[in-house]
Amino acid sequence: MKPNLKIMLPLLLVILVVQFFLVRHFVSSSNEKTQAVVGEVDTSIPHPSTRYDAPEIIKVTLYSLKLNDLPTENSGLKTLWQFFSPTFKQAIRDKALIEPYLTTEVLVAMKDYETYEIIRQTVAETEASFEVKFKSSNRLDRVVDFRLKKIEDLWLIERLQPLK
């Protein structure tokens, strides 16, 4: 068995090194593609990637908002911003809505919820919509409509709208 071990250990080391460089290349190229579509991204928090499908975007952003100040202050809000499409980001900036938008009761409800439930979802090839009901013990439940669009293999949030 020892002769086999002498062959297996170097082979295993070569395989691990090759896997490391393949993963590194994939993550790097994914980040480059993401930055080409959405602009600068903070890779220390969740960010758009081709590995997320539309329902996962909802889960990732809502989980980040639930833990808004982890790992750093307002990282949940920053994560949500990173998943906005360039069009949505521009619309918010052009209308000077960034501060009022971030302080609306909708966003407060999204940050301060106990549970959420997806009450309706529609996922097509390039568009998706989700009605999400946020449940909180200290205020009425809120429903928010998330609209996502697939742009160059990345699912991004195209619109957030409260529903009555």
Domain boundaries along the sequence of the chain: 41-163
Map tokens 């593609």 to a residue. 33
Q: Could you say which DSSP state residue 49 is in?
A: -
| Residue of higher predicted confidence among 29 and 61 | 61
**How many CB atoms lie under 10 A from the CB of residue 109?**
21
CATH code of the domain occupying 41-163: 3.10.450.50
| Residue of higher predicted confidence among 34 and 82 | 82
With a cut of 90, say whether residue 156 has pLDDT above it. Answer: yes
Its pTM stands at 0.74
Phi, psi angle pair for 128, to nearest 5°: -150, 150
> What is the pLDDT averaged over residues 82-100?
74
Specify the long-range contacts of residues 141-146, CB closer than 8 Å, at least 24 apart.
142/105, 142/106, 142/109, 142/110, 143/119, 144/106, 144/109, 144/110, 146/58
- Find the helix or strand (DSSP H, E) in which 97 lies: none
| Residue of higher predicted confidence among 40 and 79 | 79
pLDDT (tens digit, 9 = 90+) per residue, 9-49?
Answer: 777 777 777 666 555 544 445 567 677 777 777 778 888 98
Give the per-residue pLDDT at 9: 75
Model confidence at 91, in pLDDT bands (50, 70, 90)? confident
Give the per-residue pLDDT at 103: 46
Give the per-residue pLDDT at 133: 92
CB 58 within 8 A of CB 118: yes
Give the per-residue pLDDT at 96: 53
pLDDT (tens digit, 9 = 90+) per residue, 92-140?
Answer: 776 555 444 554 666 777 777 889 999 999 999 999 999 999 988 776 7
